[in-house]
Structure formats: C-alpha cells, structure tokens
C-alpha cells in the first residue's frame, strides 16, 4: 500500500464502528424540500431570555476574554450548586464536586472518558439520546442495550438487575429522564426502585437530566438525591433556558472522581467560553425560573398536538416532559420509519425524525413540538390529510 493510501485509512479504528448522527443527516436530507414544516429539531425554538443575552454582551464589553478556572468560574459553580439544590434538593460542593462543561455533551464525554477502560461495559436503556453510544465505543468499551419498548419505554428495575448480573464488566449505567425521544420519566417510587438495584453493584449511574425543567404535572426527582455516592449528574442551560448554542452544561459527581473528570475536561476544552459562563451565571441566578413560561407554552402546544394526533388515530407514548412525542406509525402503513418519514416529508411536507435513529425505536417517529403554534397547526392539518389518503 502506498503512503497516500495508508494515510487515508490509518485513523483511529474505534471510529470505524461509528456512524455520524442519522438524526442530523435525515434532517439535512429533508431540509431541501421546499415549504417543509420541520418538527425535527432537538432544541427550544425560543430565544435566549433578554437579560441573559445582556449578561453575555456585558461580559464582552468588560473584556472577559480570558481563560477562566478550567472547571468554570467559582461563582458560576456556586450558582450551579444552588440551582440544583433549590430545584432538586441535591447537595454538591461547588469547589470539589462541580464542573461547568461544554453543554451536557461535554459532561457525557468527560464523565465516560474519565471512567471507562477498554473492555468495560456500559448499560444503556434504549431508545435514548444516542450520544452515549459513540463515546462509549470511542473509549474502547461496549454498550449493552436494554430495550425498554416492552416496558412502557421505562427502564424496569428487575430487567436492570438481571442485566447487571449478566454483565459483571459493567462500569456505568446510563439513565436519561425525562427521556429523549419518548418524553417518559420516573416518579419518585420508580426512581427509588432503580436506585435500590444500582446500590447493589459497584457501578456509576450517569444520570442525564437535561430536561428536568421541562416536565409537566409532576415534580422532577433527581438520582443525585437518592444515590449521590454513585451518580454523575448531568444538567445544563441548553434546554431550560433556550441556550443550546452557548454550550454550558453542569456535571456534578462524587468528590473522589471529580479530579479525573475535570482533567479530561481540561485536556479537551480548557474551559467553557468565558462569555457563555457569564450568561449562564445570569440564567441560573436571576433567571432561575426562566423555564416556567417556556414550559407552560410547550404544554399548550403538547395538548394541541396530542388532540390532533388522537383524532388521526395515531398512538404515542404518554408524554411527561421534554418537547418530544414518540409516535407509533399506524399498523396499516410501512413500519420502516425512514421510509415512512421520507414519504411524509415528500408528500405532506411535514418532517419528523425516524424512530430507527434511536436503537429499539423502529416503527415509531419522533415529533418535536418545539415549534411555533402556527407551524404546529399547519403541520397537523397536512398530516391529517396525509393520514386520510394513506
């Protein structure tokens, strides 16, 4: 083989088993269709609150253009600690237990990379936000999937127990609630049952709770309250404060493992952008309840979409939070979710994400109602027509 060929193929072999995000590629594929209404996005359609933007602007004007403490400004970590405590009754010391990460994504990367060795296993209940899977593989570890589709799209404690027994190499169990893409979450009793199982094993739980503020009709319970000694808690301002582009996440974990996590974070990004930290500080202090208005609006949209989908005879997983509905493709139609979503996009000009983008999600589609009421109305009218003729 010539030098050129070797250079072309000689990349990290762990990447060979990973594909780029099919959510993004499907979204790109349908984006070329004229006049399409997109219910595909995984982010709030609201603007970042004005006072938060102003804090970012002020930070630029005050020349906050320098490196900060790698784990984040201490006042930001204090605000993060206070936010988590006042909302979810969890207790994390800002100096020794919190890292401000580049979105929850940065926390997932730093947390898993700090813990995993080649040969380790990571239990991932699916369907879920897919990112944990490539990061596990990039670390030479193996994802072990638990299909939750037969248990109401919620992790069942007995199934978790059995899987942990069968997989003694498990180092981490991933939990994501409220869940992307299904909108399910645990109530306190259910989470206690999960925590009781986890407690029996020497494993960490990576608890991704980024949608904790977007939960309807019940209170979010954090695993960080029930099982702090084993939990790596992830949160952030992306979903709660409509700040996905600012890239600020929260990682909170037991003191013993933070130095390793902080080291991976430091060697990867040095620190979260200083001006984004200033904006996040404002969001988590003066804007501590900013999510409430947005949540109420999401609920209004959810109720509307739910009533329309029900009229169309489309079943969906009972939504408790997030801004997603996970819908069953009617049995009379193709159960190939890519084929279904492409047809819906081309013929009805409504875009949703194929369930197969999420392991164990085939036969479903994910509809994001983080879209304007007008667009939702238009999409529902178009979809109803499509359902009538198909």
Ligand X SMILES: Cc1ncc(COP(=O)(O)O)c(C=O)c1O
Question: Based on CB atoms, which residue is closest to ligand X, 22 or 244?
Answer: 244
- Interstrand relation of 170-176 and 121-126 (parallel, antiparallel or unpaired): parallel
Question: Based on CB atoms, which residue is closest to ligand X, 48 or 238?
Answer: 238
Compute the distance between CA of residue 372 and CA of residue 39 in angstroms, rounded to an integer: 10
In the stretch 210-229, what mask flags binding to ligand X with x, by CB under 6 A? x-------------------
Residue with nearest beta carbon to ligand X: 103
The beta strand positions in 324-379, using DSSP E, are 324-328, 350-351, 353-354, 364-368
Q: Is 103 a residue that touches ligand X (CB under 6 A)? A: yes
Strand partners, 325: 367
Q: Is 209 a residue that touches ligand X (CB under 6 A)? A: no
DSSP annotation of 321: B
DSSP string, 184-228: ----HHHHHHHHHHHHTSS-EEEEE-TTTTSB-SS----HHHH-T
8 A C-beta contact, residue 135 and residue 167: no
Q: Is 290 a residue that touches ligand X (CB under 6 A)? A: no
Compute the distance between CA of residue 127 and CA of residue 354 in angstroms, rounded to an integer: 12
Q: What is the nearest approach in angstroms of ligand X to the Cβ of residue 224?
A: 16
Among the listed residues 71, 105, 156, 360, the single contact to ligand X using CB under 6 A = 105
Give the footprint of ligand X on residues 236-255 (CB under 6 A).
Answer: 236, 238, 244, 249
In the stretch 157-176, what mask flags binding to ligand X with x, by CB under 6 A? -------------------x
Q: What is the nearest approach in angstroms of ligand X to the Cβ of residue 34?
A: 27
Closest CA to 265 of 94, 112, 71: 71
**What are the backbone angles phi and psi of residue 314, rounded to the nearest 5°?**
-95, 125
Q: Is 230 a residue that touches ligand X (CB under 6 A)? A: no
Q: Is 129 a residue that touches ligand X (CB under 6 A)? A: yes
Q: Is 208 a residue that touches ligand X (CB under 6 A)? A: yes
Q: Is 368 a residue that touches ligand X (CB under 6 A)? A: no
Question: Based on CB atoms, which residue is closest to ligand X, 131 or 387?
Answer: 131
Stretches 97-105, 261-269, 287-295, 347-355: which one binds ligand X (CB under 6 A)? 97-105
Stretches 61-69, 79-87, 98-106, 380-388: which one binds ligand X (CB under 6 A)? 98-106
8 A C-beta contact, residue 145 and residue 360: yes
Q: What is the nearest approach in angstroms of ligand X to the Cβ of residue 332?
A: 31
Q: Is 180 a residue that touches ligand X (CB under 6 A)? A: yes
Q: Is 84 a residue that touches ligand X (CB under 6 A)? A: no
Compute the distance between CA of residue 47 and CA of residue 255 in angstroms, rounded to an integer: 35
Question: Based on CB atoms, which residue is closest to ligand X, 210 or 383?
Answer: 210
| 333 CB-contact burial (10 Å; exposed 0-12 / middle 13-18 / buried 19+) | middle
- Interstrand relation of 249-252 and 98-101 (parallel, antiparallel or unpaired): antiparallel
Binding site for ligand X (CB under 6 A): 42, 103-105, 129, 176, 180, 208, 210, 236, 238, 244, 249
């Amino acid at each position: 083989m010539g030098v050129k060929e070797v250079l072309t193929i000689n990349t990290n072999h762990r990447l060979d088993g990973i594909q780029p995000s099919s959510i993004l590629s499907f979204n790109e594929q349908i984006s070329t269709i004229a006049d399409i209404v997109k219910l595909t996005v995984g982010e709030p359609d609201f603007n970042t609150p004005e006072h938060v933007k102003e804090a970012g602007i002020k930070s630029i004007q005050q020349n906050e253009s320098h490196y900060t403490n790698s784990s984040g400004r201490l006042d930001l970590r204090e605000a993060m600690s206070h936010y988590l405590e006042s909302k979810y009754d969890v207790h994390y010391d800002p100096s020794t237990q919190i890292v401000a990460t580049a979105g929850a994504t940065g926390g997932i990367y730093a947390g898993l990379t700090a813990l995993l060795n080649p040969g380790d296993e990571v239990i991932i209940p699916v369907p879920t936000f897919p990112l944990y899977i490539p990061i596990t593989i990039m670390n030479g570890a193996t994802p072990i999937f638990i299909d939750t589709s037969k248990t109401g799209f919620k992790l069942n404690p007995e199934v978790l127990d059995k899987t942990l027994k069968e997989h003694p190499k498990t180092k981490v169990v991933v939990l994501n609630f409220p869940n992307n893409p299904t909108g399910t979450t645990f109530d306190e009793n259910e989470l206690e049952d999960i925590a009781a199982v986890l407690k029996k094993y020497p494993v960490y739980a990576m608890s991704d709770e980024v949608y904790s503020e977007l939960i309807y009709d019940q209170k979010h319970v954090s695993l960080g309250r029930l099982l702090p000694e084993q939990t790596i808690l992830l949160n952030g301002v992306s979903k709660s404060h409509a700040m996905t582009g600012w890239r600020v996440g929260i990682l909170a974990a037991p003191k013993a493992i933070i130095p390793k996590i902080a080291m991976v974070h430091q060697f990867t990004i040095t620190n979260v952008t200083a001006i984004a930290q200033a904006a996040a500080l404002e969001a988590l202090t003066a804007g501590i309840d900013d999510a409430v208005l947005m949540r109420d609006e999401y609920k209004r949209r959810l109720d509307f979409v739910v009533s329309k989908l029900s009229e169309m005879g489309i079943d969906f997983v009972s939504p408790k939070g997030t801004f997603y509905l996970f819908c069953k493709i009617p049995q009379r139609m193709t159960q190939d979710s890519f084929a279904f979503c492409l047809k819906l996009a081309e013929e009805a000009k409504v875009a949703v994400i194929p369930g197969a983008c999420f392991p164990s999600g085939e036969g479903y589609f994910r509809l994001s109602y983080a879209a304007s009421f007008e667009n939702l109305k238009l999409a529902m009218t178009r979809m109803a027509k499509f359902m009538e003729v198909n």
